[in-house]
């Protein structure tokens, strides 16, 4: 794992949030793993075979699997309660280079049959 700097832009409910973090990443031509910390959590993103897996552990847990054009099941946990969540990925695009990763996602979070459109743009670069 190499130290990296991340810029993350998330759009939900027409509101955009920008975040900058220090993290770690492991890169190969066909695979990337990015790890970083939020205030009360750890996040791991894995990019491989046009599939994205997001795993968050901490004050709440979240596991999302995104595959373009498909509805995929995930999970969310708050305290001792665990529930199911689904995703529908409209667009997955990423580029892995020797020292950086650029990821762009457009997807719906589906909770109780209701879809919430989400966008995520992440850029990670070696320090």
Torsion sign, CA atoms 102, 93, 36, 16: positive
The whole-number pLDDT of residue 108 equals: 95
pLDDT of residue 110: 93
Q: Read off the pTM.
A: 0.90
C-beta atoms surrounding 122 within 10 Å = 22
Distance CA(122)–CA(52), nearest Å, equals: 12
Averaged over successive runs of 10 residues, the pLDDT of the chain (127 residues) comes to 96 91 95 94 95 94 95 90 92 95 95 92 96
Instruction: Return the pLDDT at 80.
Output: 76
pLDDT reported for residue 55: 97
Q: How far apart are the first and last CA of the chain?
A: 12
């Amino acid at each position: 794992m190499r130290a990296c700097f991340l810029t993350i832009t998330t759009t939900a409910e027409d509101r955009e949030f920008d975040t900058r973090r220090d993290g770690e990443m492991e890169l190969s031509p066909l695979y990337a793993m990015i790890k970083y910390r939020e205030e009360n959590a750890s996040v791991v993103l894995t990019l491989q075979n046009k599939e994205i897996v997001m795993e968050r552990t901490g004050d709440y847990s979240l596991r999302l699997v995104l595959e373009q054009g498909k509805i995929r099941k995930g999970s969310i946990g708050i305290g001792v309660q665990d529930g199911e969540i689904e995703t529908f990925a409209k667009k997955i695009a990423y580029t892995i280079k020797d020292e950086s990763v650029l990821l762009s996602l457009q997807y719906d979070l589906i909770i109780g049959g209701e879809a919430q459109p989400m966008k995520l743009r992440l850029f990670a670069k070696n320090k």
